[in-house]
Structure 1
């Protein structure tokens, strides 16, 4: 019934593996382009711990930070041939190039290009694969630990780096949860959950990710501790209890400094 020109596959808070082949089959049926936004999962895809959209998509966009662990920036990949407009004077890649420059972008930032090159080289190493596997293992353990604390985890777990937590059982919601956790040194992102009846400015969920924690050296044992610290904080502790939690958070971060060589 619907005949879209473009189908977009990509999410900001989807904790399960995306079926790119399924999206491609739908796009083929309705003669639509398939555009994949892999910003959140590019690192997982590079390490082959998530399915690859390249065989299926017409266009792929991504950031170069997030799981790819590079500088803030982006990239666009595409097929050269245009399967739906093959007689166009310019192919798909040429039209995208023209839209980017001079259409929307000016001078290149050489330092960012250099940083991207370093990130791409790192993504080719065995160590990067090990890192991404640990990112997923940590996320799965974090989800299990939240459920053990009485939270509802959207979809009952995760296949990637994200955990989406429903705060409703605790009768605390997005904005208050963020403020409570900020006060003890835990910085989080409030997020809508499926069929959320609350407004985006104060939703029912928290979105958490494990890439930065994993980079610092946190493992599955620490994921359990983090879930416990968050649960204790969201039970509205006394000021004295908050101070105790904050001290435990600080001790945990000291164990895994961002720059060990500088400590």
Structure 2
């Protein structure tokens, strides 16, 4: 950021906070504190990043005031000509960036994008009065019997997705999630020895189950996926291949994943978030072939409420940023840094699921430290290291306490961290975990939640972190008066 740009940005945010404080000063103060907290912590949550000031500012405009149900040129409200411009530009950037035939930028989140995709696939492949039945009822009031009846009316539609403990997402058919209620679902896992996807096993399960939808993609699988092979499996059983690339979209956009590892040329429908590794605003998006475009285009009002025009505008700005050569450099550094982080753990005797990484995330099994994921997450947070607990394959502690923590490199890479810093980060994390002891329950048994962190560890790690963070300031040049 140039000196002039920094002054403009600082002035804009300072004045904005003054306006906010004139109405609700506590919100202004919380906003200031959030920036301070983010600047002072090692953010390693794989699903978080730092959007540019341009992206952030784009969300704070009067586009927020518009209702714009419908699609470009076909709105249910008048006066949406500027929203049409915004949505058209965002979709254009998405198509060009990913080489997609069609892009739908209205989803409010990744889950919304997946819901649009699921219903679009059903609408495209199944002509049934059951779809109208759903529209006539409040989905939140449907009983399990209602869902079973609905699935039968839709032909007992089947979905095969990656299991949660193997690295899949809640929306890939996890039973308590709506995706597990919409479909008769089964899940595929990973090889019990290596933790890697076994494509032969996935193919065998698909032949046996014959799903309508085969879902690929992940939220906690530290390896790349061969989407050409997944398409072959889908074609063999007559399934639609849907890929959720929410986590690794930035690596696709940055051409780190190409060929068989790029889902867009191989999938019928691709969903993503626009934050995470793509470094945009919080939101979702659907890419599709022309065959599925008409169904996806009905996402609002089929699934979505009014599109968030101010967020679509911010998506357009972020996607424009991602089309720059500098973003490719950034994306490659994200992957390189993940390998540095993984190597840093392995050299210090830590246990990683699959033994390493070749994408943007690392999954650390903390059971070797005698801890649950929840204990590890909490102890690290005390030391200023922000992570999230995560299941590992066949996790004995379940999805709440877990046995792992997931760490990602996109955010700190945005700050400018490189190989040496990520090796040091691994050292600090091992230091914290090695000096954390599990607590006991009131009955005297082992606790899965309480813990004790050694004296002085948190302060020592925060000091070491601050030394690195000071060299790579967040939003450099941005000063709030």
Q: Which residue of structure 2 lines up, in the alignment, with residue 87 of structure 1? A: none
- Tell me which of 52, 69, 78 is aligned to 2:279: 69
For 1:238 and 1:97, the matched residues in 2 are separated by 55
Q: Which residue of structure 2 lines up, in the alignment, with residue 260 of structure 1? A: 476
For 1:95 and 1:132, the matched residues in 2 are separated by 32
Asked whether 1:12 is paired with 2:219, we answer yes
Alpha-carbon deviations, 1:39-66, whole Å to 9, x = none? 0011100111112112211111110111
Q: Give matches, 1:194-233, under 5 Å.
A: 194-233=393-432
Alpha-carbon deviations, 1:124-173, whole Å to 9, x = none? 11100000010000000100001111111111111110101111211112
Q: Secondary structure at the match of 1:150?
A: coil
Q: Which residue of structure 2 lines up, in the alignment, with residue 158 of structure 1? A: 357
1:250, distance to aligned residue in structure 2 (A): 2.4
For 1:57 and 1:235, the matched residues in 2 are separated by 43
Q: Give matches, 1:49-128, under 5 Å.
A: 49-50=256-257, 51-81=261-291, 92-98=292-298, 100-128=299-327
CA-atom RMSD in angstroms? 1.2
1:69, distance to aligned residue in structure 2 (A): 0.6
Q: Which residue of structure 2 lines up, in the alignment, with residue 84 of structure 1? A: none
Structure (1 or 2) with the larger CA radius of gyration: 2
1:110, distance to aligned residue in structure 2 (A): 2.1
Q: Secondary structure at the match of 2:312?
A: helix
- The answer to whether the 8 A contact 2:377-2:388 is kept is yes
For 1:58 and 1:141, the matched residues in 2 are separated by 34
Large movers: runs of 4+ above 4 Å: none
**Which range moved further: 150-159 or 234-243?**
234-243
Q: Give TM-score scaled by structure 1 length.
A: 0.92
- Aligned residues between the structures: 252
For 2:265 and 2:463, the matched residues in 1 are separated by 49
Which protein has greater RCO, CA pairs closer than 8 Å, 6+ apart? 2
- For structure 2, the residue ranges without an aligned partner over 5 or more in a row are 1-207, 436-452
1:122, distance to aligned residue in structure 2 (A): 1.2
1:80, distance to aligned residue in structure 2 (A): 1.9
Asked whether 1:33 is paired with 2:240, we answer yes
- For structure 1, the residue ranges without an aligned partner over 5 or more in a row are 82-91
